[in-house]
Amino acid sequence: MRVWYRFLGSALLIGVASFAQARAEEYSLTFLFGPGFAATARQGARAAASASRHWFGTTKTTVELMRAGSLDALSIDAAMAPKEMEQVFTEAADGAHATDPAAFLTSLHAAVQAAGLRPGTRIVIAVLNSPHLSGDMGRTVEHLVGLCKTNGVRVIVLDIVEPGAKSTRSPLELLTRNTGGAWARQARELETSLLTVTQTAIAEAAPAPAAAAAQNEIPVYARFIRTSSTGAAGGTGMGGTGANSVDFDLGATFNERAFEANDASGPMQGLMMAESPLSALKFQMDSNAGTYRAHARIVVLVRNSQGAPVWSGQKELDIRGPARSLDLRRQGSLLFLRSIMVPGHDRFTIDAKVEDLLAGTSGSIQTPLRGGLGAPGLMASDALFVRPFKGSADKFEADQVFSYEGRALAPVLNPVFPGGEEISFELYLVLYPDIHGAPPEMSLEIVREGHVVIRMPMLFKSQIVDPSREGKGTAVYGVQAREFPYLANIQGTKLAAGDYGAIVTVRQGKSVITRSVPFRVLAERGN
């Protein structure tokens, strides 16, 4: 038996070395120690230290160490002496074995999120005696499955059972089964599990020979609306950006212009939005109950310039209602909105995907996430086309209600208007002016092919300094008294078919900024 273990160890070394040479892949291993028995925890610590030394010697690997009850990770240095490394892992295991399951799940959530930001194959290894999890904790595990899938994180559980104890099923098996991970019951199985999981990851990442290109059968639109910055804009500390609509090209770039502009390269806080027409989904009818049903999943990721996810959000939606209202439902949109913050000093890309889980169809889009500039003391959020929200038609999945002065609104990420008739539209933005300056002056220009076809003033009617506003929310999402929401309503405008840009100019003193949104007018029917 002893000879067989030595052979297994040699086989593992040869196997890891061969695929490491065949493919220069990066690996990220995060060891998280959780609750359990002290003796088995130390066995797990020794196995984790041994696996780390092995992978440092044969692959390009980063190793981090966490323990339940903590959100901090310790980076393990490849040059660390074997005894020192084992001692560090043992101390983490000893400090975690008495923690409660809730603390372990909190730390596991943090470990998965952090792993998702790293390049290469990402693996989180939980070392513990699988604890009893309540119903709420079981639902947390289900949420973690989705988070792991979104971030491409695989989970291995090393559950070393105390001698004489019976093995019982654990909700954590859902994580290993659904993330491409593995479940190990003995310390010596850890390295075998790591090798199996990484080889599987490499095989899945390889492109299929003669794979057909994905067809976008569902239109998808996505946009980031920056709502604040990091204090670079005078006394307000708020900022805005511009991001073009993602579904057509105006032939010209409508970026913000700023004079005496401040630095807006810090962390960006704002709203991540995605939209898809409900008419593109399949609806199942239940003639007995007189109801309809659609089932869809929406996933949105933000990637940095290296392609690593820095934020992700997803939701699976069951859309139901009475059959008599199906026609109205098909006129609405599937809307997804989340408040997020992304780091500064980098370039980002939005990946959005909508899957029809009944029809087996999908649609996706990839578009840049753009940041913008402000002027000293003056900032504004992006401008955004909006329309009245209709609960019987739209399906809105959001952290909070999107509204203006008590009226529910739906963002329009694909602004297209009918041709040959007068059109009306609403344009929304939030101003962050210098509260010690004069009232801002605003104007709106409708531009086509570089020419202004409509120019009109936008009246700023709010008092910049108004004690009655202090501490009261007046706009969307946590607004302070220095934020001024603005909704411009343009009525009865008739435009020829073509691509346009709506450009809002805001002036306060010597500071000038612009916010722009492209839109399209369709040709008249019959032309």
CATH of the domain at 84: 3.40.50.410
Q: Are residues 147 and 107 in the same domain?
A: yes
Cα four-point dihedral sign 197, 200, 202, 204 = negative
Q: Is residue 390 domain-resident? A: yes
Query: Do 201 and 229 fall within a single domain?
Result: no
Per mean pLDDT, which range of 133-137, 285-289, 318-322, 431-435 is the poorest?
A: 133-137
Residue ending a domain, choose from 176, 205, 234? 205
Burial class (CB in 10 A: 0-12, 13-18, 19+), 435: middle
Residues 296 and 189 placed together within one structural domain of the fold: no
Higher pLDDT, 375 or 475: 375
Under 8 Å between Cβ of 382 and 241 = yes
Residue 195 sits in the same domain as residue 285: no
Evaluate if residue 206 carries a pLDDT over 50.
no
| 294 shares its domain with 325 | yes
pLDDT of residue 475: 37
- The pLDDT of residue 171 is 81
Q: How far apart are CA 291 and CA 318, in angstroms?
A: 13
273 occurs within a structural domain: yes
Could you give the CA distance from residue 499 to residue 504 in angstroms, rounded to a whole number?
Answer: 17
| pLDDT value at residue 477 | 33
Is 45 part of any domain? yes
In a domain, 9, yes or no: yes
Q: Is residue 22 part of a domain?
A: yes
Which long-range CB contacts under 8 A does 36-39 form with residues at least 24 apart? Answer: 36/97, 36/128, 36/129, 36/131, 36/160, 37/97, 37/129, 37/162, 38/94, 38/97, 39/162
Q: Give domain status of residue 33, yes or no.
A: yes
The answer to whether residue 192 scores a pLDDT higher than 60 is: yes
CB atoms within 10 A of CB 363: 20
The pLDDT assigned to 16 comes to: 34
Query: Quick one: DSSP state of residue 124?
Result: E
Tell me, yes or no, whether 423 and 497 share the same domain. Answer: yes
Measuring CA to CA, which residue among 123, 126, 146, 42 is closest to residue 90?
Answer: 42
H or E stretch at 489: strand 484-493
List the Cα angle 270/464/431 in 5-degree steps: 25
Select the more confidently predicted residue: 385 or 492: 385
353 and 252 in a single domain? The answer is yes
**Higher-pLDDT residue of 228, 251:** 228
Domain match, 319 and 394 both: yes
Position 224 pLDDT exceeds 70: yes
Q: Are residues 95 and 45 in the same domain?
A: yes
Decide which of 205, 237, 260 is a domain's last residue. Answer: 205
What pLDDT does 290 receive?
A: 93
Expressed as residue numbers, the domain containing 255 is 221-521
Do 156 and 284 sit in the same domain of this protein? no
CA 515 to each of CA 40, 143, 292, 476, 489: distance values in angstroms, whole numbers, following the listed order: 60, 37, 41, 18, 16
Whether 190 and 230 share a structural domain = no
Residue 418 has a pLDDT of 87
CB atoms within 10 A of CB 169: 7
Q: Examine the pLDDT at 231 and tell me if it is beyond 70.
A: no
Report yes or no on 213 lying in a domain. Answer: no
Tens digit of each residue's pLDDT (9 = 90 or more) over 2-21: 222 222 232 333 233 333 33
Question: Considering its fold, how many domains does the chain have in total?
Answer: 2
Mean pLDDT of 439-450: 84
Q: End-to-end distance of the chain based on CA atoms, in angstroms?
A: 83
Domain annotation covers residue 114:
yes
Question: What is the 8-class DSSP label of residue 378?
Answer: B
Farthest CA pair distance, the chain: 86
Note the pLDDT tens digit of each residue in 139-179: 888 888 888 888 889 999 998 876 666 666 788 888 888 88
Based on the domain organization, do 251 and 135 belong to the same domain? no
